[in-house]
Structure 1
């Protein structure tokens, strides 16, 4: 259970006004806001001299007092954007989209392949957070080979992947209630106890959010009778640059949308996956095209407890959105760093692939295929899997594989009357040595 912050009395604020000008206290306050610390983080912090945790908390609350107010239905949320948040947003502006984003560190020739892989990682991680019990390898094999889902967990991942592909195709369309319902329908297809709940707002108040460990109720969503109006406000918030005359940086706004959908909890299940998908949509809609290549859910999945606490801290501290925003900005930053490291690894691998191009009479895709077979001798590929991995057409994938068969690198083995699989030929090792 999350401990609620202490009530700050008028005399506490009066004292905080005097304390805040002391350099050491001001530094501690700035540090607390840089990390957007909650009361319990400050409560157990080692503090100098006679400064108490309660006094520092009063100084922190004083610094956050002049926050903007965001009204969604009858709910009021506080928005305090710190200097550090603004700095992070500026860095993301420089790297995730816009003109400068077009000068990408992703090689143009590999963008499609990296995009497919990143979309798969996002679909897998987002679903695993919501209970999809399957390994990353099995899930990727299913998506790459276009194998029909066999379990509910696999269906969840497949749905998530299809939803991402839908968003990529419709990113520029207006966001409406019908859009949200369609995303939920795609996300939950064949995974709910009652199929009628797919793409439908909940009609009762039997849904609560529980702590994953203690099973205590940690959030009771708004009454189902409020959902239509609240969703209408979120759609308006999504599409208007200045909501009720207030400008909010697009990245922060996308994070707030993520929070609001989870807060409203408009569906019987699939709220988290849907909220993360809508955040993804909003980022793309606002020009942060590099978001296509980020797997933010993979970062969130690794710090799921902190993700949940960010929601709880917001609710326990008078709906202060700063906690959730600070957490989410860190997640986006880590996802960006991981993407850079991933691309660098792939560039290094591509240098190795260029060695296979020296074999002659093969194209760059075929050189990559030969490298896969060289690295994993027992591997086999179907045309469909190469099509998915390379993000090329079926005829192109088949032409590449058949070309390698003709050259003697591979053998084609009939699986049935229609399907073939491709394996290393007996002379493969001699040919690549």
Structure 2
């Protein structure tokens, strides 16, 4: 096709919507556009669609900058999952699936309380899943994926949605239904083969940026739909798990699902856009989902995530002997329990326990003086937060 027309189509705002391109440029130009993408532009992934053809990406339409990558490459060496991030992640990942859970009930569960309702069971399951993926020794294998599923989802399902004993995946067809059937999961007989291939892909370094690869994995598990229920929760957990395994421990302090929930309509639209495009092209191009995730999740968390220089300043002070062991532990607790949320000295004293109020007070004043904390006065009360 003519280079001028191809360039216009590639730069068009609807370049990833094949139906719109067809209406604007005509069927013949769309056919040429798709042929050119296939010959020269697509990056083929070692993952297959349901017909056995390669899943593809369009690198020319993916804009993940180095600055955005830094949002989740900060090292939180030695730290477990942030308590505040865990709370936000649980509430939001359930909300994405229209499962209501209150902060009070989630906080109760995080503090060791027993779940009392069906929704609290679901929240408890996500907590167990997050605890499991936060442990670096839990490598991504088929057996561990099954273990994660049981911990996070499977143990809390009704009988009709449970897997058969000792089976890792569903034993029947599954459909996602809107006004019509929007998606049908992979034939259940093929699930062991496809999941094994996906895990093999996750364990190999193919040169693809780890963040982009985590987004691919998120989409692909949801695409396969290996369970009767909980596929979305498992897809989001698997993405986090992959990042943890690759050393991005800061992902344990970033509630991805908060940003997904804030753009929930766009999240589901990205899935349906891929399906709609496939009907036109017969090529599973997952670029719309990758683009969605970069634009609506990575970009937004970059604006709110704890900047790397705060941790660097803290580490410099620690190495220089200006931070005591007790202050180090308190800083790690603030990072874990509150993230970038505000807290008061009284709240920190209550939550941390076994430390004198004077120690807490001296700690926050010292870290504020060192530029690690900022304060905000509300009448006679003062609240603090980690400073960038």
TM-score (norm 1): 0.63
Give CA deviations for 1:320-369 in whole Å, capped at 9, x if unaligned: 111222112223324423533x779x99xxxxxxxxxxxxxxx8969x99
2: CA distance, partners of 1:343 / 1:82: 27
- The residue aligned with 2:188 is 224
Q: Determine the structure 2 residue equivalent to 1:21.
A: 4
Change (3 A) 1:144 1:402: farther
2:146 pairs with one of 175, 181, 186: 181
Q: Could you say if the C-alpha distance between residues 309 and 154 of structure 1 is closer, same or farther in structure 2, counting changes exceeding 3 Å?
A: same
1:120 maps to 87
The answer to whether 1:165 aligns with 2:131 is: yes
- Partner residue in 2 for 1:205: 172
Instruction: Answer yes or no: is 1:64 the counterpart of 2:37.
Output: yes
Count of residue pairs the alignment pairs up: 328
2:223 to 260, 263, 271: 263
Change (3 A) 1:202 1:173: closer
Contact 2:260-2:297 at 8 Å conserved across structures: no
Measure how far apart 1:187 and its partner are. Answer: 0.8
3-state DSSP of counterpart to 2:98: coil
In structure 2, how many angstroms separate the alpha carbons of the residues matched to 1:113 and 1:206?
38
Alignment counterpart, residue 289 of structure 1, candidates 249, 254, 270: 249
Higher relative contact order (CA 8 A, sep 6+): 2
2:301 maps to 336
For the residue of structure 2 that corresponds to 1:79, the secondary structure is strand
Structure 2 CA distance for partners of 1:175 and 1:112, relative to 1, 3 Å: closer
Kindly indicate whether residue 271 of structure 2 is the aligned counterpart of residue 298 of structure 1. Answer: no
CA radius of gyration, larger in: 1
- The answer for unaligned runs of 5 or more in structure 1 is 1-16, 348-362, 388-396, 405-428
* Structure 2: stretches of 5+ with no match in the other structure: 312-326, 361-379, 382-388
Query: Please, which of 194, 198, 203 is the counterpart of residue 234 of structure 1?
Result: 198
* SS of corresponding position for 1:21: helix
Structure 1 residues 304 and 79, CA gap change in structure 2 (3 angstroms): same
**Considering only aligned residues, what root-mean-square deviation do their CA atoms show, in Å?**
4.0
Match of 2:57 in 1: 80
Give the TM-score normalised by structure 2: 0.70
Separation (CA, whole Å) in 2 of partners of 1:75 and 1:167? 30
Q: 3-state DSSP class of the match of 1:88?
A: coil
Match of 1:417 in 2: none
CA 1:36–1:288: 2 relative to 1, 3 Å: farther
